[in-house]
Amino acid sequence: MAVVSMKKICITGLLKEKKPMLSFLQKRGVVDIQDMPIDSEYENVFTKGYDKNSEAEIDSKMALLSKAISVLEEYDESKKPLFKVRKDIDRQYYESITQYNDEFIGLAEKVIETYNSIGDFRDEINRLENDILTLTPWTDLDIPINMSKTDKVNIVLGTIPEFVKPETYTQAIDEKGLLCQVQEISRDKNNAYVATYIHESDMQQPMHYLKSIDFNILEYDFSGIPGRLIEENKQTISRLKVNIENAKSSLKEYALKTGEVQAVYDHFAISKGLLTVDDLILSGKYSFIIDGWIPEEKVEKTVGALEKDFVCHVFVRDPHDDEEFPVLLKNGFLGDSVTGVTEMFSLPNCREADPNTVTAIFFALFFGMMLSDAGYGLVMSVVCAVILLKFKLEYATARFIKLMLISGIATIIVGALYGSWFGDLIPTILSDKSINVALWFDPIADPNRLLMWSLILGVIHIYVGYGMKGYNNIKKKKYLDAVLDVLPWYFFFTMACFLVSSYIPSVPENVYMTLTPIGKKLFPYSAAVILLTQGRHKKGIFGKLFGGIAAFYDLINFMGDVLSYSRLLAMGLATGVIGSIINQLGSAGGFTIPGIITFTLVFVVGHGFNFAINALGAYVHSSRLQYIEFFNKFFEGGGVAYSPLFEDTKYIRIRE
């Protein structure tokens, strides 16, 4: 577990070589370029910044390509990996693709145009289908639907409520002598669709009567005979559907170029990175200056290559004692797995110890104690191992899967010690609840014992945190603080634990009978040590004294922190109890064929749910114990991540 040592690097080069040198550094991806302020006396000599118009042009092209890629991915029929990863391509192939940037920009425009045309075609189909629905009641109308009159007759289309019978209004029209004729065209469950023919000499009386029977006038923007319009619309819809299929076929053909379009997108992303880094660099009339950080192990090769390929001066030095440098962590399998959990809290300070390896051990242990079922752990471990061995993964994904693999192994061990294999599956199958398969003890039968060990592990975890604090002080060469900020607390807290050992569940009588007298005898001395050491940084005798007295409050914090580890008991019992209930419900049907089917369904669904909810809880609470109880004792944090100039891509990884 280590924070990688960094060196300060300052490069002075010729302005004409700035772009190729930045491209060289970007390909190497090792120099974290820092912002260089311009001193007032050099404001007329150096400038900073880049062409914002060029950035806007690149952003525009990237937005176009991004939209096209999302379309192409939708129509790409090639086999997709289970986990989304960037594609590896060699640099020569990458450079051959980027020679045709304009052609691929044109392809992206065609993709978007074709995709938009599908939307336009569908909108037109919807409009035509709505028109057909509107015209369908008038299919049998043999005159143009927009025809409103002849030489002597006005034509009005509308609806009459279904409950008004035709003979009713026909008889009324005849009796009233109205110059009007009503033709029923069609009928549905609510209305009759009618065409009314009214002589122009008397429109008022017929319309007055028609309104009295709830005649509702309908007006349309269509032009033509409804039956013919419907047929024309159906033919147009058929043509539009063919157009949609042709457009989809074109998109599927374009999708064969998805990889190349993605490479061009990443080319512009790389170009943008080269452009915007100019905001951090001092540029003069003939020269430029780069200031940054580089990992110590990369210095020799990088400086050698720079001095070989460019006319430049490279100055490298160690960071000053009070100088902060970016944080790069270097860990093995174990420490690397939990880096994501730590980073969600904070990166360590550049001058403190990397806690990840120690954190990984406790994270996995606590995760295992809370999930606490060997069957669940076995499933986790097998699935995670297969994923790591069989699939290509991005770093962040692989890191998480490693953490779940380690946690799964810890869950197998803890579950076996507790005798929990998918709850009490083994006794359930053997129909003998008296069988005890625990290698250590059954926490459901003896929860107090698990509580005792949970609290003991909490004390150990907290003590390791104080040990990390001492180690950090040694790294800072604060040797006195390393001793006085750690050992007195070990002494004080240990005596306090001895003093209350008789109140801790399941502590054997012979143990607490031994420990309690020791605690009573030595606790006052441990308190005196705290009183004399913890106020030492205060000024004056009274300041030191009151500082020591105030430190006693940390005992309350310590006890609260230790009790927080009782969640290991609560979560562990929850998993086991729910698992046992699931097995009990599943086995209620006995070992008959219907019973076996029922048991299988209940087992899969029930344990699947139990695993999911308790694995999530174990992850959250394991993280919480690291953040609150552990990091609280030593972790300063606040580190700034090492962020070198590199080829920051979204879709491809360029290999030399």
Is 300 inside a domain boundary? yes
Q: What pLDDT does residue 465 have?
A: 96
CA-to-CA distance for 320 and 215, rounded, in angstroms? 93
Is residue 512 classed exposed, middle or buried when 0-12, 13-18 and 19+ CB atoms within 10 A define those classes?
A: middle
pLDDT at 178 over 90: no
The DSSP result for 507-566, as a single string, is --HHHHHHHHHHHHHHHHHHHHHHHHHTTTTSSHHHHHHHHHHHHTHHHHHHHHHHHHTT
Pair 323, 358 in one domain: no
Phi, psi angles (nearest 5°) of residue 314: -115, 125
Q: What is the pLDDT of residue 461?
A: 97
Q: What's the CA gap between 343 and 274, in Å, rounded?
A: 27
Q: At what angle do helices 395-418 and 567-586 cross, to 10 degrees?
A: 80
In a domain, 56, yes or no: no
Residue 156 lies in a domain: yes
Residue 405 has phi, psi (to 5 degrees) of -65, -50
- Residue 651 DSSP SS3: coil
Residues 420 and 513 in one domain: yes
Q: What percent of the chain has a predicted confidence (pLDDT) above 70? A: 100
Q: Is the pLDDT of residue 566 over 90?
A: yes
Using a pLDDT cut of 90, give the percent of the chain over it. Answer: 77
Q: Is the pLDDT of residue 43 over 80?
A: no
Helix (H) or strand (E) holding 631: none
Residue pair 294/9 in contact by the 8 Å Cβ criterion: yes
In a domain, 55, yes or no: no
pLDDT at residue 246 greater than cutoff 70: yes
pLDDT exceeds cutoff 60 at 520 = yes
Looking at the structure, tell me whether residues 482 and 384 fall in a common domain: yes
- When pLDDT is averaged across residues 200-205 and rounded to a whole number, the result is 88
Give one DSSP letter per residue of 176-214, joined into a string: HT-SEEEEEEEE-SSEEEEEEEEETT--HHHHHHHHHTT
Task: Give residue 290's pLDDT.
Answer: 95
Does 444 map to a domain? yes
Q: What is the pLDDT of residues 574-607, one digit of tens each?
A: 999 999 999 999 888 777 888 888 889 999 999 9
Which residues, listed in sequence order, are joined to residue 294 by a DSSP beta bridge?
A: 7
Average of per-residue pLDDT values in the chain = 92
Strands 329-330 and 2-3: antiparallel
Q: How much is the pLDDT for 148?
A: 87
**Quick one: pLDDT at residue 177?**
86
How are beta strands 153-161 and 2-3 bridged, if at all?
Answer: unpaired
Note the pLDDT of residue 551: 87
Confidence of residue 491 (pLDDT cuts 50, 70, 90): very high
CA neighbor of 634 nearest in space, from 469, 460, 462, 463: 469
Q: Has residue 409 been placed in a domain?
A: yes
Instruction: Report the C-alpha dihedral over residues 562, 568, 571, 577, rounded to 10 degrees.
Output: -120
Helix (H, G, I), strand (E, B) or coil at 351: coil
Q: What is the CATH number of the domain that holds 26?
A: 3.30.70.120
Tokens of 501: 């050992």
What is the rounded distance in angstroms from the CA atom of residue 545 to the CA atom of residue 523? 18
What are the phi and psi torsion angles at 199 (to 5°)? -65, 140
pLDDT at 524: 94
Q: Which of 172, 187, 219 is at the close of a domain?
A: 219
Q: Measuring CA to CA, which residue among 271, 93, 84 is closest to residue 656?
A: 93
Structure tokens at 150: 């002849």
Tell whether 310 and 444 lie within a shared domain. no
More confident residue, 540 or 311: 311
User: 146: which 2 tokens?
Assistant: 């927009």
pLDDT value of residue 641: 94
Query: Residue for token digits 């143990």?
Result: 511
Same domain, yes or no, for 420 and 566?
A: yes
317 and 387, same domain (yes or no)? no
Judge whether 623 and 56 are in contact, CB under 8 Å.
Answer: no
Average pLDDT (339-349) is 93
Domain of residue 203, CATH code: 3.30.70.2750
Residue 519 and residue 609 in one domain: yes
Q: Is residue 231 part of a domain?
A: no
- In sequence order, the 6+-apart residues with CB closer than 8 A to the CB of 516 are 498, 499, 501, 502
Beta strands at 282-283 and 180-187: parallel, antiparallel or unpaired? unpaired
User: How many domains in the chain?
Assistant: 3
Report the pLDDT value the prediction gives residue 656, as an integer from 0 to 100.
80
Asked which of 219, 238, 255 is the last residue of a domain, the reply is 219
**Residue 353, exposed/middle/buried by CB under 10 A (0-12, 13-18, 19+)?**
buried
Q: Is residue 635 a contact partner of residue 346, using CB atoms and an 8 Å limit?
A: yes
**Residues 435 and 566 reside in one and the same domain:** yes
At 624, list the tokens: 């919480």
* pLDDT band per the 50, 70, 90 thresholds, residue 459: very high
Joined together, the tokens standing for residue 380 give 């986790």
Instruction: List the structure tokens of 197.
Output: 């023919």
Do 6 and 293 meet the contact criterion of CB atoms below 8 Å apart? yes
Q: What's the longest Cα–Cα distance across the chain?
A: 123
**287-295/6-14 β-pairing:** antiparallel
Same domain? For 312 and 336 the reply is no
Residues 500 and 562 in one domain: yes
pLDDT digits (tens, 9 = 90+) for 80-128: 888 888 898 999 999 999 898 999 999 999 999 999 999 999 999 999 9
Query: For residues 307 and 97, is the Cβ–Cβ distance under 8 A?
Result: no
**pLDDT grade for 1, boundaries at 50, 70 and 90:** low
Which of 297, 328, 359 is the endpoint of a domain? 328
- Domain of 303? 1-39+284-328
Please check whether residues 416 and 304 belong to one and the same domain. Answer: no
Under the banding of pLDDT at 50, 70 and 90, the label for residue 6 is: very high
SS3 state at 325: coil
Same domain, 161 and 298: no
What residues contact residue 333 under an 8 Å CB cut-off, 6+ apart? Answer: 402
* Residue 352 per-residue DSSP state: S
Q: Is the dihedral of CA 629, 630, 633, 639 positive or negative?
A: negative
The continuous run of DSSP H or E covering 445 comes out as none
**pLDDT at 305 exceeding the cut of 60:** yes
pLDDT, one tens digit per residue, over 60-83 is 999 999 999 999 999 998 888 888
In what helix (H) or strand (E) does residue 11 lie, and over which residues does it extend?
strand 6-14
pLDDT in tens, 277-289: 999 999 999 999 9
The answer to whether residue 607 sits within a structural domain is yes
- Which secondary-structure segment (H or E) carries 255? none
The most confident of the ranges 38-42, 504-508, 533-537, 643-647 is: 643-647
